[in-house]
Structure 1
């Protein structure tokens, strides 16, 4: 009887945790919008929402890429530092006289090279990705400061700045259009292609995936390359928003991106993730950032709030998976 009662209690706990986990990005977003609308006179208006979406484009792109990485049971801790380094490379390339399209192309290619390198070292070297990307974070941070002498490099090309931040096409800001295209492509890739199905299989059970003939190594390296592509595009948008390449421009990006994926219900052990829910998680983090700035919440307190949200999401995931045992 006691065993049956414990099993029933565990089942109820698991179901409740799953429900809360699934509702977290929806309820969290609604509650935050409602709270900040009441707490600040400057939050609920069209201008702030447009700025919020435009400013969060880099976060959304990086979070979408992080979803792929976490889906295959890996992690990338270097994204914030790499975005800062790439923004410096972009700014210095244009300062050296390169046309902005060439500078953008070089930046994105450099980002893909860094992502691919992370993947190769992780997969071929069989080194945990958190160690590899932690090392890359340190390297990228050091290079960004060496290249600039800890001084931001201004971007003076008005065409570039306008196109990637100020210009709207058919009434839609360019950063938002880029996010929509990337999001749609990734949703199709995960849900409609063999590659997407293989990623889920790798994350769920890597040995079973390998035995079934899935090219685990190749697919994981490809995931890191796609992560690099999205980081590169995000760096371009970040540089256009700031109007410069700054070595310390993205201090919380890595935490925010991982938080968005976890809030979206992805398993840190791989095998479960959703682009739609990651998008909601990223919007939740963006609203949180925007609202706390409007309320003059200091940066230290912002980190505490985000940490608590991450812990809540992880606890719900644990309870949903283990039934409270």
Structure 2
């Protein structure tokens, strides 16, 4: 017999559903997907379709045969996980590696904890970080757009983040002269090398997705704006102190910052519930991202920063609570 658990009043009624929000996220990702298809063609299509299909299959199989519950594929969450995982991968990644990533994302990152609404960490990032640690060479070989001889055989090149890392390690600020301009990074162009994963190609496409999510009220501004603003300010201070650090515009438009801030840090399940908590969460992610990018082993730090703060979300929710309904202010 299932228990009916009802929260304390007041009860808010609305038209929002899991399905509506998940499909809204998929729509918001369309501009970024189209840009990735434009630059990487077949490679992008293969990676994204494999990732989405694998995530949907593993969620169905685990639900039906391991958890013995009715699969809920129609809510769109498995497709969102698959698409976000694919957007975090290079366009020439082997199919078997993508499938392993999907299995880890769904099997370990989501279904192990009971499925949708119970996972403490963002499933797509769990899969992505597992692949990054397990297959570092394959996960850091970035094809150069327009120089693809085949899906797996592609010319690779240095990404903007890798150039920034070289400049910091060598102390040679002239390395940053090879960076594309901030406008090129915003629009999606790197004439000197690779662009990174599929979701890192064009910051403008991701900002269009942010505008859609805000318009439809699927997310609020607190998390993405606090992350981007923190990274901008922190990296700007470092640039002023030492020109070996890239200027803040190049930093915020490079790598997976926009993808993570807009589509993964804002995950309902793994982010704080209150606006004040979301600001604390976003500022911490932005700070950790800059720290890992500039002084860590990996050029990119967004994924790790989000997962670290996912772990702190229950603590933030516990200490940053909304005022109770009908509660009288404390006497001074």
Q: TM-score, normalised by structure 1?
A: 0.30
